[in-house]
Structure 1
Amino acid sequence: MSEPTVILTKEEGVGLIKLNRPKVYNAINNQLTTELLATLKQVKEDPEIHVVVLTGEGKAFCSGQDLNDRTALSQEKEIKLGDSVRSRYNPLIMAMTKMEKPLIAAVNGVAAGAGCSLALACDLRFITPKTRFIEAFVRIGLAPDSGSSYFLPRLVGLGRALEIAMTGRDVEAEEAIQIGLANRLVPEEKLLEETMAFARKLAQGPAVAIGLTKQAIYRGMEVSLEDALEFEAVVQERAGKTRDFLEGLSAFAQKRPPRFEGK
């Protein structure tokens, strides 16, 4: 039986997902995409998990598609990468963005190609001085996929996104923070510790309201002001029916910290 390529652990309301192919810098093969999609579904449906952290085992976050996993394609007369993107990568990115739970990437080492895309599809990114983001697709004559064309310009702006993607250059940690590609820069040895501490604190908050906040902000980037206002009314209606809202009101009136249940 092959070793699992994705490992899930739970701790104080946080689901920690580790990509587990350290010998190849967590390069993505068919097994990993299948197991990661199943794990994302599992954490989405687990009521005990309020926040999700995604990281890589070993020295890298994810080096992208395992090119050695495509050797059979070299024998084909016509390579149809679009089918692979649609069937393997697109479902992963949609599962990440549609999840009504915060998803934080602890980006240890390199995040390249589709691995960079996975990091960008997370809601927040914590990095170390050794982190590098690489839109490496152009280095082998390909265009960005797995959501990079969507997330990159929204994070860093159109002109900078074009330059990064067309050159395929390394984006080092300090630049990533400066241009908004990452949220926090922490010491290498404390990356997981500090990411998990942040995640645990977030998990103690009003989970429904936080999930609705994620939905509203993503939707607000895509629709008109009128539609955004209407969606805010819809999610506020739902948030107002939670126990956490009642607890928040009580805590405010009693001048004490709220004790949210995530319900």
Structure 2
Amino acid sequence: MSDLEYSLHEGVATLTLNRPEARNALSGDMRVAFARLVPQLAADKSVRAVILTGAGGAFCAGGDLRGMAESRPTATIESWRDRMRDVQPWMRQLVELDKPLIAAVDGPAFGAGFSLSLMADFVVATPRARFCLSFMRVGLVPDFAAMYTLPRVVGVQRAKELMLSAREVAADEALRLGLVMEIVPAESLMDRAGALARSFVGASPLATSLIKRSVGMSLASDLSTLLSTEANDQAMCFETPYQAEAVQRFLNKRPAMFQWPAAVGKDKE
């Protein structure tokens, strides 16, 4: 058994953090596996969407504090800096992944686990989900790209409050803050994440990629840049066979290839 399990089924890849005895805290082996698998996911055109989840009723408890404590006697500022820089290439690839990333969160998402959930495009959680940027409790700053992602999700003031207070956020508050898109029963979590992921198997890969890229750059761009980007991206999409077929399906009153799944508990339209 690997600390990070990988599966691929009909275009949907699933990454499962698999250290339930440690609430899926990030081990060295897990970091190595992420470094190997994330570039693979990014390059594999057969992967149309990715689900990130945790085993055993927990998402991820964060960094391995015991391992950090054991490393302290021989560690230096340079070695700690290198430790962080070693994981940044795959973290950047995960944030910039050109296919949808869905985080399925049950139980604690603490520290770097919270940061991992923030990398996702959509977060589906159970009522048992709890989020906490716990770094201040151990005298550290948030990492795993949280300095970039969190202010973009909740705004600067709320991001400072969550980082500096290191307080715990329950699922219902996470939904109100926009940290979570939906709350579903625990027994429905993977079914719902799977339904969201599978919807993108029928989507235009180009349009999906361009939307993610443009939204990602929107807060650092001006209006003129984004209008130019829209024009270029739309022109590329107009030239794809996918778009031509999608229009014909609409005109002929045939089902669309891309269908967003209805919310849990609601009838499909």
TM-score, with length taken from structure 2: 0.90
- What secondary structure does 1:86 align onto? helix
Aligned to 2:189: 191
Render the CA deviation track for 1:5-34: whole Å, top value 9, x for unaligned.
Answer: 111112232111111111111111221111
User: Displacement, 1:93?
Assistant: 2.0
- The yes-or-no answer on 1:232 pairing with 2:211 is no
Aligned to 1:82: 81
Aligned to 2:255: 257
Render the CA deviation track for 1:198-218: whole Å, top value 9, x for unaligned.
Answer: 211232222221121111111
Counterpart Cα distance in 1 of 2:23 and 2:246: 44
Counterpart Cα distance in 1 of 2:246 and 2:238: 11
Report the more deviating stretch, 41-50 or 170-179. 41-50
Counterpart Cα distance in 1 of 2:89 and 2:115: 13
Aligned to 1:216: 214
Aligned to 2:92: 94
User: Displacement, 1:70?
Assistant: 2.0
- What secondary structure does 1:47 align onto? coil
User: Displacement, 1:37?
Assistant: 2.3
RMSD (CA atoms) = 1.5
Aligned equivalent of 1:241, options 230, 236, 239: 239
Render the CA deviation track for 1:165-186: whole Å, top value 9, x for unaligned.
Answer: 1010101000000111110100
Counterpart Cα distance in 2 of 1:251 and 1:7: 38
Render the CA deviation track for 1:84-113: whole Å, top value 9, x for unaligned.
Answer: 11112x223211122110001001111111
- What secondary structure does 2:196 align onto? helix
Change (3 A) 1:24 1:209: same
Render the CA deviation track for 1:99-157: whole Å, top value 9, x for unaligned.
Answer: 11000100111111111111101111000111011101101001111111111111112
Aligned equivalent of 1:163, options 146, 161, 185: 161
Counterpart Cα distance in 2 of 1:22 and 1:227: 46
Q: What residue ranges of structure 1 are gaps of 5+ in the alignment?
A: none
Counterpart Cα distance in 2 of 1:125 and 1:109: 13
Counterpart Cα distance in 1 of 2:135 and 2:206: 37
Counterpart Cα distance in 1 of 2:135 and 2:104: 22
Counterpart Cα distance in 2 of 1:84 and 1:6: 19
Report the more deviating stretch, 216-225 or 68-77. 68-77
Change (3 A) 1:47 1:82: same
Counterpart Cα distance in 2 of 1:77 and 1:36: 23
Counterpart Cα distance in 2 of 1:78 and 1:201: 47
Q: Return structure 1 stretches of 4+ with deviation > 3 angstroms.
A: 77-80
Aligned equivalent of 1:24, options 14, 22, 25: 22
- The yes-or-no answer on 1:44 pairing with 2:63 is no
Change (3 A) 1:30 1:77: closer
- What secondary structure does 1:126 align onto? strand
Q: What residue ranges of structure 2 are gaps of 5+ in the alignment?
A: 259-269
Aligned to 1:149: 147
The amino acid of 1:82's aligned partner reads: R
Aligned to 2:264: none
